[in-house]
Every structure is written in C-alpha cells, then in structure tokens.
Amino acid sequence: MPRIDRMTREITCTLVYDGPARSGKSTNLRYLHGRARPGSRTSVSWSPDLDLLALDAGAVSGFRVRFQLYAVSGEEHRSVTRRMILQGADGVVFVADSQARRVDDNLAGWRALDADLDRRLPRVTQFNKQDLPVGLILAPADLAEVLGDDPGRGVPADALHGSGVFETFDLLSRLVLQQFA
Amino acid sequence: MRTVEPWVERPLTTFLEESSARIAAVLTPSGQVVAQHGFAAAPDLMAAASLAAGIMAATSELSRVIGAPPLRELAYEGHDVGIYLAAIELPGRRWLGLVAYGKDSSLGLVQLFFGELVKDLGRAAPPKPFALAGPAALDPDFEAELDRNLRALFGR
C-alpha cells in the first residue's frame, strides 16, 4: 500500500515496471528521467539488476506526492531481486514486447507476474515497440487477447522514442492514488 | 498520544502505564504510523518508523533466505536506553511495535506487557479485515491536479 504520512502530508508510491527481458522497461524509466525537470528527479540508479528513478510530483490536494519507479531485470537468474521488489509494489506496469516472435516470452512474463502479485493491485499493460513494421508485431488488441488481458487498460507505445511512456506512467499514477480519494 | 485508529488508544495507553516505556509506536510493515506516544518531532517519528520497518523487512528476508522461521522480535539493551521491536499479529493484519524504555523499566517488563498489548489489540480490533481509517487524503477531483503536475514535471 502506498505510504501516507498524515502528519507531514506526504504520499509515497512505488511503481514497478515488469515484463520479459529487453521489452523496454528500462527504456521507459530512462525516457522519463530524460524528460523530468532536474530538480524533481530526487534520485536515480542504473544497474544490471534494477533501475530506480525517484520523482517528486509536487502537491496534490495539499499532499506532496512522490513516486519511486523500479524497472526489474527480466532475466530469469535475477528473479529473486524481482520478487523482492514486487512485494513492495503499489502498482505495476507490464511492459509487453509487441514483436510476434516474443509472444511466448510475454506469456511467460505475464503468468509469472500473476503468480507473484496480488491481483487487486493496480496494473497497466504497455504494448511496446508498436513502431516496428506491421508484419512483425501484434496489434494491442491481439496481444491483449493472447495474454488474457483487458485491451481497454493497455497503452500502445514506442518507448525508445517516448510515445506512450508518459501516458503509461500517468495512467498508473492515477489508478494507484485513487484509493486515497 | 496520537492514533489513526481510535480503538488502538486504550490498549496502547495501558501498555505505556504498565511497562513505563518512554516511547511507543505502532506501525504498518511499510512504516506507516498507526499510533505513537513520546516522539517530539514528526521527522524523528518518520525516521524511526522507516528504520523499524526496514529492519523487520530485512531480517524477515534474511530468515527466509537461511531457512529460519520469520523473525518476530528484536531487542537491544543499552546502558541507559533499551529498544524493542516486535510483530503484532492481528486478524487479517500484521503490524509492528517499536518501544524505547529507560532505567525505570526493563526488557522483561516491556516484553511481558507487549504481549498483553497484542492481546488487547486483538480484542479491540474490528471483526472484519480493516484498512487504516481516516478522512480521504485527496480531493475527489485530484486527477486534474495530478495531471497538471505531471505535465509540468515532464514539460508537456
């Protein structure tokens, strides 16, 4: 659950970007990092296991809202780190690789997330790499059907060039904070 | 004393009186403060709550890695001050208790009455699994303000 301190009037939310290896999780964070005002990027860390980006979203209803974004490695041998991070998540972005050849990887990642995460937790699916040639990718609706997901809660994206990255973060932020409204 | 959940106040007051503890805080595992007594400043309370939650999380994970049962309590007996940190198991919820005591008390007293505190909280707790109550933090139309802030943050 997001941390709320009513005495200091601060809310801190942990958002985790999960998904198969090389689907674009770190790319999302690096894009957000590059676009954020320098004074609002309170900390950043890039490593093979884990990327961390802390953002200050300013005051909302008199509460200072901070986000901690994690991108966990999709490599199988780093799964212990991944599970530890997911235990503290307040919301999750599943970054799917829209390439048709990666359907099995997406499905494996999706099932792993279902196994490791409380289903009541806010979740957004990002259908990344939608910029690739049509013949090489699945449309968001088709990929959602493969995953068994609701296509209405997904965001098409091209994280490398920033398309859909802000929209994904914005959507998940709203979903996570709705429990405080 | 300050409490988020009113039903916590009486059991915690009783604990403080019987144990002679100087400082006591009831926390969620993520470090959110449910109730506290004795902290003079909010930053001190925040720091203590975060550290206590982190310590319990780290030791619990350590226990899991080495195959030991989950750690339920930690104690430190200094020359002038002692610290006790322990889990509070309630129906549908697990909290943490952080206690600091001086020479007018002892670890044994604190542990004894902490056990009673847990029982009292269990009897006083609402019958259904609960979430921390309190007024809603954000206005119903918070999304517009959030959206403006995020767009300003990212220069959109």
Taking 70 as the threshold, does the pLDDT of residue B34 lie above it?
yes
Q: What ipTM did this prediction achieve?
A: 0.82
Of A78-87, A135-144, B39-48, B116-125, the range with the highest mean pLDDT is A135-144
Q: What is the mean pLDDT of residues B73-89?
A: 91
In chain A, residues with a C-beta closer than 8 Å to the C-beta of B28 are 1
pLDDT 10s digits, A43-74: 666 666 667 888 889 889 888 898 888 888 76
CB pairs under 8 A between A and B: 85
Contact B143, A27 (CB under 8 A): no
Q: What is the mean pLDDT of residues A76-98?
A: 80
Which of A58, A84, A170 has the CB atom closest to B61's CB atom?
Answer: A84
The pTM score is 0.64
Separation in Å, CA of B29 to nearest CA in chain A: 10
Residue with token string 């998904």: A19
Percentage of residues in chain A having pLDDT higher than 90: 48
Taking 80 as the threshold, does the pLDDT of residue B77 lie above it?
yes
Per-residue H/E/C for chain A: CCEEECCCCEEEEEEEEECCCCCCHHHHHHHHHHHCCHHHEEEEEECCCEEEEEEEEEEECCEEEEEEEEEECCCHHHHHHHHHHHHCCCEEEEEEECEHHHHHHHHHHHHHHHHHCCCCCCEEEEEECCCCCHHHECCHHHHHHHHCCCHHHEEECEHHHCECHHHHHHHHHHHHHHHHC
pLDDT 10s digits, A113-158: 888 887 788 999 999 999 999 999 999 999 999 999 887 779 999 9
- The pLDDT value given to residue B7: 86
Put simply, the chain A residues between 68 and 87 with a CB less than 8 A from any chain B CB are: 84
Position A7 confidence tier, pLDDT thresholds 50, 70, 90: low
| Subunit contact A61:B150, Cβ cutoff 8 A | no
Taking 50 as the threshold, does the pLDDT of residue B121 lie above it?
yes
- The pLDDT value given to residue A72: 81
- The pLDDT value given to residue B43: 65
Higher-confidence position of A122 and B44: A122
Q: What is the mean pLDDT of residues A88-108?
A: 94
Taking 50 as the threshold, does the pLDDT of residue B133 lie above it?
no
Taking 90 as the threshold, does the pLDDT of residue B102 lie above it?
yes
Position A100 confidence tier, pLDDT thresholds 50, 70, 90: very high
Interface residues of chain B, partner chain A, Cβ below 8 Å: 2, 4, 28, 30-33, 42-43, 45-46, 61, 134, 136-140, 142-143, 145-147, 149-150, 152-156
- The pLDDT value given to residue A74: 66
Q: What angle do CA A139, B147, A155 make, to 5 degrees?
A: 10
Taking 90 as the threshold, does the pLDDT of residue A178 lie above it?
no
| Subunit contact A173:B140, Cβ cutoff 8 A | no
In chain B, residues with a C-beta closer than 8 Å to the C-beta of A32 are 154
